[in-house]
Structure 1
């Protein structure tokens, strides 16, 4: 089963995350073969950007495993997040972020979210996208996409009625 896990930083969360980067990456190393996408959401794409959240799309066996993944993670345990959103995810692109090879120079990457359940029109600028469901998979609550676009305004147009576009970048050890 695929899950979408997004921790939204609380005020002061960035400083906690900087301090715990190695612990976070070590924790994520244990899930390396199960990660479909990962990376921070950011205040901007500038060199001095700070994180606003931490996104992971991960394949795990069940709801208990995703709760352990989300709530045993060092950033969460240290109080870096204001909230953590957990959804079942249906990967419509059938690939991981590492499979995306069509990057356009001078475009940035974004996490785009919509509560609209209408199917998106696939684009060469989709890194990956899919449907968001409640954990019991009874109700579709929207869609999420990792996209590349020249601006956040352009990114938000890539999903039907999208209301959120967050600066995002590929995650992992640096």
Structure 2
């Protein structure tokens, strides 16, 4: 089962997070075959991180809780909050399958609490529904995409611009 795990950084945790990045990557290396997508969300200028996104395929809720709560950033108190939901992948692949990158475009996470909408564009990297952990209750959707800017990302994802977060591919495969 696929899960969406999004840790949002607490204010002032940037230096601590930076010091733990090698430990975080080593932890994620243990999940390399299960990762669907990963990477940090960023400030609008791209200079600092605001969170850490992972979409991971794990067999049980217990396994995803271990993934989320044994992770070095979480254990050290980097995150203000962690959202865990099930993820219904409409793209079917991983972020590493995305082959249509456009020079000059930026990457974004669009995280909404609205209803599912069909999305078709060569600029969609991955998208899917966010579902409750214990039921098929629809909680929203997540879209990873590339666009010229945040406004264009909002239009492509059919979302409010406030729901658009600069994002980039993270880690190593």
Give the TM-score taking structure 1 as reference length: 0.94
Q: How far apart are 1:45 and its partner, in Å?
A: 5.0
SS at match of 2:68: helix
Return 5+ residue gaps in structure 1 as ranges.
none
Report the structure, 1 or 2, having the larger helix content: 2
Is 1:43 matched with 2:36?
no
Write the deviation string for residues 108-161 of structure 1: whole angstroms up to 9, x where unpaired: 000001211132321111001000001113301111010000111111122334
- The match for 1:105 among 94, 103, 109 is 103
The 8 Å contact of residues 110 and 168 in structure 1, kept in 2 or not, is answered as: yes
What's the C-alpha RMSD, in Å, of the aligned pairs?
Answer: 1.4
Matched with 1:27 is 27
Report how many residues are paired. 172
Matched with 2:170 is 171
SS at match of 1:36: strand
SS at match of 2:158: coil
SS at match of 2:56: strand
SS at match of 1:27: helix
Matched with 2:78 is 80
Matched with 2:13 is 13
Is 1:160 matched with 2:158?
yes
Paired with 1:128 and 1:81, the residues of 2 have a C-alpha distance of: 24
Give the TM-score taking structure 2 as reference length: 0.95
Q: How far apart are 1:92 and its partner, in Å?
A: 0.2
The 8 Å contact of residues 120 and 160 in structure 1, kept in 2 or not, is answered as: no
